[in-house]
Amino acid sequence: MQDFEKLGVFYLGRAYDLNKKKSKEGPLLYDSKDLVTHAVCVGMTGSGKTGLCLALLEEAAIDGIPAIIIDPKGDLGNLLLTFPDLRPEDFAPWVNEDDARKKGVSPAEYASQQAAFWKNGLESWGQNGGRIKRLREAAEFTIFTPGSSAGVPVSILKSFAAPDEKIIEDNDLLRERTSTTATSLLGLLGIDADPIRSREHILLSTILDHAWKKKQDVDLAALIQSIQTPPVNKIGVMDIDSFYPSKDRFALAMQLNNLLASPGFEAWLEGEALDIDRLLHSPDGKPRVSIFSIAHLSDAERMFFVSLLLNQTLGWMRSQSGTTSLRAILYMDEIFGYFPPVANPPSKTPLLTLLKQARAFGLGIVLATQNPVDLDYKGLANTGTWFIGRLQTERDKARVLEGLEGASAGAGQKFDRSKMEEILAGLGSRIFLMNNVHEDAPEIFETRWVMSYLRGPLSRDQIKKLMDSRKRDGSDAATGQTKSSIKPSISSTGISASTKATNSLPILPPDVPQFFAPVGATKSGEVNLLYQPMLLGAASVRFIDKKTQLDISKESAYVTLITDSAIAVNWENAEAIDIDLNGLEKTPQADARFDELPTVAGKAKSYETWNKDFTKWVNANEKIELLCSKAIGAYSKPGESERDFRIRLQQSAHEQRDESAEQLKKKYAPKMLALQERIRRAEQALAREAEQAKQQQLQTAISFGTTLLGAFLGRKTVGAATIGRATTAARGVSRSLKEREDVGRATENVQVLQQQLADLEADFNAEAAALQASNDPATENLETVSLRPKKTDISIKLVALVWLPHWQDAQGNSVPA
């Protein structure tokens, strides 16, 4: 396992020595949990900002973290240009032919050069085609093109749907949502609306607020109708016509209608809905990287779409449980104009709310820009990580330092402005300063080589080429929607009316239970209201299971046909129906017709029999199926899909992994630090012993030299002094040998300690590898557990004749009403 393939960390590059102008040994790793407190990346053109951000997104995808990417320039689609085999023919369709001409080579030759260049670059950073393959398999990558069919188109209709209940119940959030939606929509019409002074803005906000508080969706057609005929009589203390005369409202409605009727606007109404949950995970729970390319849009259209997407993300976030681990990433490249320090565009309010609150839900916000002066640094004061590259002007440096100082103050850390200025002045291409409030000190590093081929912005045709295969696939990988036929059912389609339908309701005994389902669908065209008789059965079933810790009551309602055959009612043919029992009416609508009622349905005793049969059928057929993960020992929730369960398991696995990794660090860190300290002291002792041995050898050599020199100068008799010197020299030899032994023992002590440290590191790596190789919830084979109720836990609430309303045309065809 490579040094950078660690638990919950992103490989961003290597630490860099500014003085020596070269990278240090070992990878620079960024803890994924730190991204929960958000990140900002600033750097001028050519600083390597795009490469750094793509590397971060690649690492997140490998770690199973989904992402939503807003791409104003059109070059983040490069994330799909990943070629595990690194063959020239893989690069050939994507190389820039202008670059080939500048180098005086053919596109094919240039593709070959690029393939070799990318292969060598990856190898220099310890990466290869195998890691690229792992990236491609870890997540689904899709390019969405709102307002265009080049990539996967996006429908904005869901953006006007009623928001999540948590937002509706929070007045501040609902006010923000209605205000930003109204502002962005008016901006699309070319109306620069002030939320306080603009009557257009106030009217639209009032209409949206009125509908959403009733949990009613709003589409553009309904919005046009509501502008002409508002759902309220007064705005403030003034009546609607005084506040905004009908003639003026009609002009606003015409503007919106012209927008809706324009041919180019059709592209905004087709395609994938802005469903954040689906954009982050596929139907089977696989992480997704959803890239929204908006380079082709006008400024007003970009602001409109970005504001809607941010609002949808905010609504999704509110529906999630809290977590300390990274759940998803929202990345926006070139934030210029969307988060300014003074102005208040529609995108600013939801983005500011996300920056303040998203950390509690595990959503990491990453913003990038080459124009630091355009960022509201007060709004970014709580951002935990700053990636700063080469800056163009002194003004840019001053604004970045202002932001860093605010972030440090927010984290309670000291800020050395002069030292930071010195560091920023020395940054070069692909050299960044990382200021992470979760670390003790800033880090200077060189960004790693990205696995995606950086060919620059993708053209419309290139996006189309990348996405066509996905859009042609019958099981649409881009949208997660499967093309399939819908089986007709009693409750969802019209039933052919009997030729004996009459204008009068059949007369029934008073003890026959009879109800009428309310008319909910709007009348369309020349149709008549027709009631058709069905048998309704409703029950409350309680499921109790100690093993799964389940105790839940399920309310169910079914309808089935009543016939004049030998078996008048067959509950095996029953179909579930979503109906409010409290909303059933005692009388039919006026001017309605009634289909023929079988004779058996007019007898009270029939309902007693059908009630008993329904009880038996419920007991035999009602069940709750739960998915079970044996690896984690968790069960799905009732009604939770396999996709959602796997997503929840993945998040739980991330949280458990992060906690286990933290415990692993706490277990080994003190031991490693203690051994490292002992090695340091042992090495110091070894150095002292070696120095002493060296000095003793020198002293012994001098003593021997003096004795030999005396003899050499011709003394014919050896005097006492000469004998004494010889004796001293001999003792020096003995001490020298002892010093050598001391050096040997010190060396052996260092080696023993180093081996102990190596063994400890091996144990740590083995446990870390075991943790890394633990079961992946995304691929685990889940078991299905069926829970059935006891007879005593079944309560029959109603078995009755119910008349279901339908609209019937002149040809006798009918549809549910």
Residue 494, both tokens: 């019209």
How confident is the model at residue 372, as a pLDDT? 82
Q: How confident is the model at residue 406 (pLDDT cuts 50, 70, 90)?
A: confident
Q: Is residue 759 part of a domain?
A: yes
The one-letter code for the residue type at 531 is: Y
Residue 558, both tokens: 């079914």
- 713 and 665 in a common domain: yes
Which stretch of 84-93, 265-274, 372-381, 725-734 has the lowest confidence by average pLDDT?
Answer: 725-734
Instruction: Provide the phi-psi class of 29: left if phi over 0, else alpha when psi is between -120 and 50, else beta.
Output: beta
How confident is the model at residue 473, as a pLDDT? 59
- 232 and 193 in a common domain: yes
Over residues 331-352, the mean pLDDT reads 90
- 755 and 650 in a common domain: yes
Over residues 442-461, the mean pLDDT reads 95
Percent pLDDT > 90 in the chain is 44
How confident is the model at residue 715, as a pLDDT? 47
Residue 217 sits at φ, ψ, to 5 deg, of -75, 155
Q: Is residue 682 part of a domain?
A: yes
Q: Is residue 674 part of a domain?
A: yes
Q: Which strands sit side by side in the sheet containing 431-436, from one edge to the other? A: 22-31, 9-17, 443-447, 431-436, 385-388, 39-42, 363-369, 328-332, 67-71, 288-293, 140-144
How confident is the model at residue 289, as a pLDDT? 97
Q: Which residues contact 270 (CB under 8 A, 6 or more apart)?
A: 149, 153, 155
State the Cα–Cα distance between residues 389 and 369, nearest whole angstrom. Answer: 11
Statement: residue 50 has pLDDT above 70: yes
Statement: residue 767 has pLDDT above 90: no
Q: Is residue 810 part of a domain?
A: yes
How confident is the model at residue 587, as a pLDDT? 81
Confirm if 599 and 509 have CB atoms less than 8 A apart. no
The answer to whether the predicted template modeling score (pTM) of the entire model surpasses 0.75 is: no
How confident is the model at residue 62, as a pLDDT? 94
Statement: residue 176 has pLDDT above 80: yes
- 646 and 587 in a common domain: no
- Please, what's the largest Cα pairwise distance for the chain? 154
Q: Tell me: the pLDDT tens digits for 250-284?
A: 889 888 888 887 877 888 888 888 889 999 999 88
The more confident residue out of 85 and 501 is 85
State the Cα–Cα distance between residues 671 and 562, nearest whole angstrom. Answer: 78
Residue whose entry in the numeric block shows the structure tokens 């008799």: 717
Q: Domain boundary at 236, 262, 288, which?
A: 262
- 669 and 743 in a common domain: yes
Q: How confident is the model at residue 732 (pLDDT cuts 50, 70, 90)?
A: low
Burial grade of 411 (CB within 10 A; 0-12, 13-18, 19 or more): middle
The C-alpha R_g of the chain, in whole angstroms, comes to 37
Statement: residue 809 has pLDDT above 70: yes
The more confident residue out of 58 and 231 is 58
How confident is the model at residue 2, as a pLDDT? 61
Statement: residue 350 has pLDDT above 70: yes
User: CA triplet 492, 493, 496: central angle to 5 degrees?
Assistant: 145
- 610 and 536 in a common domain: yes
Percent pLDDT > 70 in the chain is 89
- 793 and 768 in a common domain: no
Q: Is residue 47 part of a domain?
A: no
State the Cα–Cα distance between residues 104 and 107, nearest whole angstrom. Answer: 10
Q: Is residue 191 part of a domain?
A: yes
Residue whose entry in the numeric block shows the structure tokens 């109708």: 225
How confident is the model at residue 728, as a pLDDT? 58
22-31 vs 9-17, strand pairing mode:
antiparallel
Q: Is residue 561 part of a domain?
A: yes
Number of other residues whose CB lies within 10 A of the CB of residue 1: 10
Statement: residue 542 has pLDDT above 70: yes
- 763 and 649 in a common domain: yes
- 649 and 739 in a common domain: yes
Helix (H, G, I), strand (E, B) or coil at 644: helix
Q: How confident is the model at residue 771 (pLDDT cuts 50, 70, 90)?
A: confident
Residue 25 sits at φ, ψ, to 5 deg, of -75, 150
What is the residue-averaged pLDDT of the chain?
85
Q: Is residue 443 part of a domain?
A: no
State the Cα–Cα distance between residues 416 and 433, nearest whole angstrom. Answer: 14
How confident is the model at residue 208, as a pLDDT? 93
Q: Domain boundary at 238, 262, 286, which?
A: 262
- DSSP alpha helices (H): ranges in 189-296? 199-213, 220-228, 240-243, 246-261, 276-280
- 661 and 572 in a common domain: no
The one-letter code for the residue type at 376 is: D
Over residues 572-587, the mean pLDDT reads 91
Confirm if 137 and 286 have CB atoms less than 8 A apart. no
Q: Domain boundary at 244, 262, 280, which?
A: 262
How confident is the model at residue 491, as a pLDDT? 41
Q: Tell me: the pLDDT tens digits for 464-495?
A: 999 987 776 534 444 444 333 323 334 444 44
Q: Tell me: the pLDDT tens digits for 507-541?
A: 777 688 999 999 986 776 788 899 999 999 999 99
| Interaxial angle between packed helices 199-213 and 246-261, expressed in degrees from 0 to 180 and rounded to the nearest 10 | 80
Q: Which domain holds residue 750?
A: 642-772
Q: Which residues pair with 683 in a beta bridge?
A: none
Over residues 291-300, the mean pLDDT reads 94
- 797 and 753 in a common domain: no
- 746 and 691 in a common domain: yes
How confident is the model at residue 42, as a pLDDT? 93
Over residues 189-217, the mean pLDDT reads 89
Helix (H, G, I), strand (E, B) or coil at 806: strand
The more confident residue out of 804 and 253 is 804
When divided into structural domains, the chain yields a total of 3
